[in-house]
């Protein structure tokens, strides 16, 4: 752009310089031609010379006739021609003729002599009646004639030569002028071309500037990646919507946040993260506008979106819409980087519940609450959430002190071999007794710790303490420790486990690591790699909460799982809906083929235990057998009851019938 502008500038300067030079040269030439023409006029001496000779001849003729015929008319004519001749002499002595005469000193002398001679005839001309005088005058005229002839002849020759020179000069100048006119025309044409080019480049520049201005105004209101409106545009649209809505219409604001997006970004890469965000935004927009064309979705940064939904006069609809969004975003995304899965949490609030400013804040608060509740859910705003937010902030702030102060410790829940009724293992579950807030459930503080990064320290602590404790258990008792996705993807969990096993002396085959299905959703390749390394260490790996996610089935065959832990929701619903029992049975068969044991969580009744025993599940865990308890409470039980058959649930610590419910467990 700059280079072409410079080119144009140089071109324009050259053209204007050419035009100026040609114009000045033309002016100069014009003046020179005028001068030559003037000179041609001034030097018209041939005529003056010829006239002089004619006048002298007429004088001589009339004097001679008068002398011969005595006619008075001839005398008068002679006098007249004499006067004319004298006048001619005056003319010859002035102006252009004088210049010609002065060109040669000899000629000047001859002219002086001639003038004197003519002047000297004046007296004789007055007395022309006398024959002597007539003879003298004729004699004098005979002498004067060649003198006049000579000067007149020279004047003629000079004049002709001068005229020729001027003609040549004029010719030359004419040629030059023709050249100049051509140069002028060419310069003019060049200038014209320049103007056309300049015009075109101006038009192009104008179009480019207009396009740039359009782009600038677009990106002032839109997100560059997803092309969705940005927060600024959303606020404006939201205000307009509030002003223009009818009394029977409501506006809901949904705050949407993707679950685990950061992990995708950190592990698969930003390009894949971007592709996922674009796919998410496309799906969101198409779904939102299908509900109502006026609905708006905007991206307010990272993996956070805000949506504006127009609703008929039914506040309950807002939560329905929010749940649809969660469901919609839990379906896999096809991107250029392959199939990706992500979850989403949504918070909503409806227009009549708050002022406009509060609406977005409330939706945001509901979102935070949804995230804290374990993600992947939609919540409508509730005033109590403000207190919930304060509590979460408090928990996050107190986590480090709790770790340092030993407030966070593992409790152990027994795992029972269903065939023999023996306790074969325990699951370590983190417990936090806060000095002011009292017991805080891991369901509450683990997600907060995952958000703040404290989970890696909590995870290590539980792992270390659980391994230390397990080393003191009877050898037949294994220990299961939960691993967070953050530990697997961020922390060097393999080295940590090796170190802990070495430090505690616990045999690797007594340690089982539980990872949830949702971990597989984030970066399956990396997770599978870490799991394979863990197997090399010799520990067992268990797929926790099996049946609650979407992704695990595909990865079931890609890793040699040692255990599948069926989520407690299946056994809970098994009484009311036999399909759940069928699922448990199918999973049991599947696990058998994979050489994995099946553990069922959440067994709370004898009937449930009997059912599972009948199906042939390997192990079970639940309040029927015992609540999670501190190690001191567990130890005597383990030592005493390790070989007991389990016909009575209350033979175990804080079993369902012992009424010693753990206050921290849900
Ligand atoms: P989880 O790994 O699925 O643990 C089982 C949860 O079910 C525990 O809740 C346990 O107390 C509860 N439970 C056991 N038997 C029954 C029953 O019969 N009925 C019912 N209703 N619940 C039962 P808890 O201890 O509150 O832990 C909640 C979740 O917190 C755990 O789910 C686990 O995902 C996480 N968590 C706990 N400790 C840790 C830890 O040290 N590290 C990590 N990363 N996560 C942990
Ligand atoms: Ca677990
Ligand atoms: Ca579980």
What is the pLDDT confidence band of residue 543, given thresholds at 50, 70 and 90? very high
Q: Which range has the worst mean pLDDT, 136-140, 562-566, 662-666? A: 662-666
pLDDT tens for each residue of 43-60: 567 788 888 888 888 998
Whether the pLDDT of residue 374 is over 80: the answer is no
C-beta of residue 258 within 8 angstroms of C-beta of residue 329: yes
Q: How far is the CA of 257 from the centre of ligand 1 (A)?
A: 25
The percentage of the chain sitting over the pLDDT mark of 70, rounded to a whole number, equals: 91
Q: Which atom in ligand 1 lies closest to the alpha carbon of residue 484?
A: 44
Q: How far is the CA of 629 from the centre of ligand 2 (A)?
A: 15
* Residue 508 vs residue 142, higher pLDDT: 508
Residue 414 and residue 646: Cα distance in Å, rounded?
12
Look at ligand 1, atom 42, and give the residue with the nearest C-alpha: 482
**pLDDT at residue 645, rounded to an integer:** 40
Look at ligand 1, atom 22, and give the residue with the nearest C-alpha: 602
**pLDDT at residue 435, rounded to an integer:** 96
DSSP sequence for 32-73: HHHHHHHHHHHT-HHHHHHHHHHHHHHHHHHHHHHHHH--HH
Q: How far is the CA of 501 from the centre of ligand 3 (A)?
A: 24
- In our burial notation (b when 16+ CB lie closer than 10 A, e otherwise), range 481-512 reads bbbbbbbbbebebbebbbebbeebebeeebbb
**Which one-letter DSSP state was computed for residue 264?**
H
Residue 654 and residue 661: Cα distance in Å, rounded?
6
**pLDDT at residue 342, rounded to an integer:** 92
Average pLDDT score over the chain: 87
**pLDDT at residue 663, rounded to an integer:** 31
C-beta of residue 627 within 8 angstroms of C-beta of residue 413: yes
Whether the pLDDT of residue 128 is over 80: the answer is yes
Q: Which atom in ligand 1 lies closest to the alpha carbon of residue 662?
A: 11
Mean pLDDT on 475-490: 93
CA dist 197 to 9, 13, 191, Å?
12, 14, 10
What topology is assigned to 407-656 in CATH? TIM Barrel (3.20.20)
Look at ligand 1, atom 23, and give the residue with the nearest C-alpha: 602
C-beta of residue 253 within 8 angstroms of C-beta of residue 319: no
pLDDT tens for each residue of 630-639: 999 999 889 8
Pocket test for ligand 1, best of 372, 425, 427, 442 (most atoms within 8 A of CB): 442
Query: How many Cα atoms occupy the beta-carbon half-sphere of 412 within 13 Å?
Result: 30
Mean pLDDT on 3-14: 72
Look at ligand 1, atom 37, and give the residue with the nearest C-alpha: 429
Question: Highest mean pLDDT range out of 95-104, 192-201, 403-412?
Answer: 403-412
C-beta of residue 459 within 8 angstroms of C-beta of residue 399: no
Domain boundaries, the chain: 1-187, 231-382, 407-656
- In our burial notation (b when 16+ CB lie closer than 10 A, e otherwise), range 267-300 reads bbeeebbebbbbbbbebbbebbeeeeebbbbbbb
Tokens 């130890």 belong to which residue? 635
Q: Whose atoms come closest to the Cα of 602: which ligand?
A: 1
Q: How far is the CA of 337 from the centre of ligand 3 (A)?
A: 31
Residues with CB under 6 A from ligand 1: 413, 429-430, 441-443, 446, 459, 462, 482, 484, 514, 544-545, 568, 601-604, 621-623, 628, 665-666
**pLDDT at residue 665, rounded to an integer:** 34
Whether the pLDDT of residue 41 is over 70: the answer is no
pLDDT tens for each residue of 413-426: 999 999 999 999 99
**pLDDT at residue 354, rounded to an integer:** 52
Whether the pLDDT of residue 664 is over 50: the answer is no
pLDDT tens for each residue of 236-294: 999 898 888 888 888 999 999 999 888 788 778 899 999 999 999 999 999 999 999 99
DSSP element (H, E) containing 623:
none
Query: Residue 357: what are its φ and ψ, rounded to 5°?
Result: -65, -40
Whether the pLDDT of residue 662 is over 50: the answer is no
Look at ligand 1, atom 10, and give the residue with the nearest C-alpha: 665
- In our burial notation (b when 16+ CB lie closer than 10 A, e otherwise), range 338-365 reads eebbbbbbbbbbbbebbeeeebbbbbbb
**pLDDT at residue 445, rounded to an integer:** 95
- Mark out the alpha helices in 373-512 (DSSP H runs): 384-404, 442-452, 455-470, 485-489, 493-504
Whether the pLDDT of residue 439 is over 50: the answer is yes
Q: Output the CA torsion sign for 392, 393, 396, 400.
A: negative
Which of 291, 325, 321 lies closest to 305, judged by CA?
A: 325
What is the pLDDT confidence band of residue 230, given thresholds at 50, 70 and 90? very high
Looking at the DSSP bridge assignments, the partners of residue 492 are: none
Q: How far is the CA of 483 from the centre of ligand 2 (A)?
A: 8
**pLDDT at residue 464, rounded to an integer:** 97
pLDDT tens for each residue of 607-633: 999 999 999 999 999 999 999 999 999
Mean pLDDT on 487-506: 94
**pLDDT at residue 355, rounded to an integer:** 62
The percentage of the chain sitting over the pLDDT mark of 90, rounded to a whole number, equals: 49
Whether the pLDDT of residue 26 is over 60: the answer is yes
C-beta of residue 411 within 8 angstroms of C-beta of residue 630: yes
C-beta of residue 329 within 8 angstroms of C-beta of residue 283: yes
Whether the pLDDT of residue 15 is over 80: the answer is no
Residue 662 and residue 655: Cα distance in Å, rounded?
10
Whether the pLDDT of residue 647 is over 50: the answer is no
**pLDDT at residue 538, rounded to an integer:** 97
Mean pLDDT on 637-665: 52
Q: Which residues contact 440 (CB under 8 A, 6 or more apart)?
A: 395, 432, 433, 434, 664
What is the pLDDT confidence band of residue 513, given thresholds at 50, 70 and 90? very high
pLDDT tens for each residue of 376-391: 999 999 988 888 888 9
CATH number of 231-382: 3.30.70.270
Beta strands at 540-546 and 563-566: parallel, antiparallel or unpaired: parallel
Which of 471, 457, 458 lies closest to 430, judged by CA?
A: 458
Whether the pLDDT of residue 661 is over 60: the answer is no
Q: Whose atoms come closest to the Cα of 443: which ligand?
A: 1
pLDDT tens for each residue of 135-158: 888 898 888 888 888 888 888 888
**pLDDT at residue 658, rounded to an integer:** 46
Whether the pLDDT of residue 40 is over 80: the answer is no
* Residue 134 vs residue 247, higher pLDDT: 134
Tokens 């220990």 belong to which residue? 479
Look at ligand 1, atom 25, and give the residue with the nearest C-alpha: 429
Give first-to-last CA distance, the chain, whole Å: 69
Helix (H, G, I), strand (E, B) or coil at 335: strand
Whether the pLDDT of residue 322 is over 80: the answer is yes
Whether the pLDDT of residue 642 is over 60: the answer is no
Beta strands at 438-440 and 423-434: parallel, antiparallel or unpaired: antiparallel
Pocket test for ligand 1, best of 482, 518, 572 (most atoms within 8 A of CB): 482
Packing angle of the helix pair 261-268, 270-291 (nearest 10 deg): 140
Whether the pLDDT of residue 69 is over 50: the answer is yes
Q: How far is the CA of 458 from the centre of ligand 1 (A)?
A: 15
Residue 345 and residue 255: Cα distance in Å, rounded?
8
Q: Which two tokens stand for residue 142?
A: 């005979």
What is the pLDDT confidence band of residue 641, given thresholds at 50, 70 and 90? low
What is the pLDDT confidence band of residue 553, given thresholds at 50, 70 and 90? low
Q: Which atom in ligand 1 lies closest to the alpha carbon of residue 567?
A: 3
Residue 584 and residue 486: Cα distance in Å, rounded?
29
Q: Whose atoms come closest to the Cα of 608: which ligand?
A: 1
What is the pLDDT confidence band of residue 315, given thresholds at 50, 70 and 90? low
CATH number of 1-187: 1.20.120
**pLDDT at residue 612, rounded to an integer:** 95
**pLDDT at residue 190, rounded to an integer:** 83
Q: How far is the CA of 664 from the centre of ligand 1 (A)?
A: 10
Mean pLDDT on 436-450: 94
Q: Which two tokens stand for residue 257?
A: 């946040």
Q: Whose atoms come closest to the Cα of 444: which ligand?
A: 1
């Amino acid at each position: 752009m700059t280079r072409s502008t410079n080119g144009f500038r140089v071109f324009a300067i050259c053209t204007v310089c050419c035009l100026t030079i040609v114009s000045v040269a033309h002016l100069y030439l014009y003046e020179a031609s005028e001068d030559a023409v003037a000179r041609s006029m001034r030097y018209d001496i041939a005529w003056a010379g010829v006239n002089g000779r004619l006048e002298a001849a007429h004088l001589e003729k009339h004097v001679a006739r008068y002398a011969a015929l005595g006619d008075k008319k001839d005398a008068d004519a002679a006098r007249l021609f004499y006067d004319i001749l004298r006048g001619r002499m005056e003319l010859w002595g002035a102006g252009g003729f004088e210049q010609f005469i002065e060109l040669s000193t000899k000629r000047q002398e001859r002219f002086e002599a001639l003038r004197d001679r003519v002047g000297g005839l004046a007296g004789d001309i007055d007395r022309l009646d006398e024959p002597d005088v007539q003879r003298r005058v004729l004699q004098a005229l005979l002498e004067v004639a060649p003198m006049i002839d000579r000067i007149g002849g020279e004047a003629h020759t000079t004049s002709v030569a001068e005229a020729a020179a001027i003609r040549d000069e004029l010719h030359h100048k004419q040629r030059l002028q023709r050249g100049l006119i051509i140069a002028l025309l060419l310069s003019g044409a060049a200038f014209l071309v320049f103007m056309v080019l300049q015009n075109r480049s101006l038009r192009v520049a104008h179009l480019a500037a207009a396009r740039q201005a359009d782009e600038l105004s677009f990106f002032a209101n839109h997100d560059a990646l997803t092309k969705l409106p940005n927060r600024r545009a959303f606020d404006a649209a939201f205000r307009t919507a509030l002003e223009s809505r009818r009394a029977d219409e409501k506006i809901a604001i949904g705050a949407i946040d993707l679950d685990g997006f950061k992990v995708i970004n950190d592990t698969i890469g930003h390009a894949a993260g971007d592709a996922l965000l674009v796919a998410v935004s496309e799906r969101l927009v198409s779904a939102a506008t299908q509900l109502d064309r006026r609905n708006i979705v905007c991206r307010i940064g990272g993996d956070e979106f805000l949506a504006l939904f127009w609703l008929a006069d039914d506040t309950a609809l807002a939560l329905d819409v929010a749940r649809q969004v969660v469901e919609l975003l839990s379906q896999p995304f096809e991107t250029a980087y392959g199939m990706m899965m992500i979850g989403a949490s949504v918070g909503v609030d409806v227009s009549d519940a708050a002022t406009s400013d509060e609406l977005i804040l409330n939706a945001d608060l509901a979102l935070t609450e949804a995230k804290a509740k374990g993600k992947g859910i939609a919540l409508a705003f509730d005033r109590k959430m403000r207190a919930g937010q304060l509590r979460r902030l408090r928990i996050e702030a107190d986590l480090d002190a709790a770790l340092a102060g030993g407030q966070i410790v593992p409790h152990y829940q027994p795992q029972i071999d269903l065939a023999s009724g023996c306790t074969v293992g325990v699951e370590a579950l983190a417990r936090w007794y806060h000095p002011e807030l009292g017991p805080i459930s891991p369901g509450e503080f683990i997600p907060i710790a995952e958000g703040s990064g404290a989970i890696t320290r909590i995870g290590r602590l539980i792992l270390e303490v659980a391994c230390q404790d397990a080393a003191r258990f009877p050898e037949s008792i294994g220990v299961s420790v939960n691993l967070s996705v953050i530990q697997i993807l961020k922390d060097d969990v393999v080295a940590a486990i090796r170190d802990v096993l070495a430090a505690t002396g616990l045999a690797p085959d007594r340690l089982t690591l539980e990872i949830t299905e949702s971990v597989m959703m984030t970066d399956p390749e990396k997770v599978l790699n870490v799991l394979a390394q863990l197997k090399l260490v010799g520990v067992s790996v268990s797929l926790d909460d099996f049946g609650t996610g979407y992704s695990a089935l595909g990865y079931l065959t890609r890793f040699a799982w040692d255990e599948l832990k069926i989520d407690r929701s299946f056994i809970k619903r098994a009484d009311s809906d036999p399909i759940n029992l069928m699922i448990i049975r199918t999973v049991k068969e599947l696990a058998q083929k994979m050489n994995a044991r099946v553990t069922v969580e959440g067994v709370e009744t004898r009937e449930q235990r009997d059912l599972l025993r009948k199906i042939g599940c390997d192990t079970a865990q639940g309040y029927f057998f015992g609540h999670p308890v501190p190690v001191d409470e567990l130890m005597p039980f383990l030592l005493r009851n390790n070989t007991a058959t389990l016909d009575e649930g209350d033979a175990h610590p804080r079993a369902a019938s012992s009424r010693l419910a753990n206050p921290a467990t849900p």
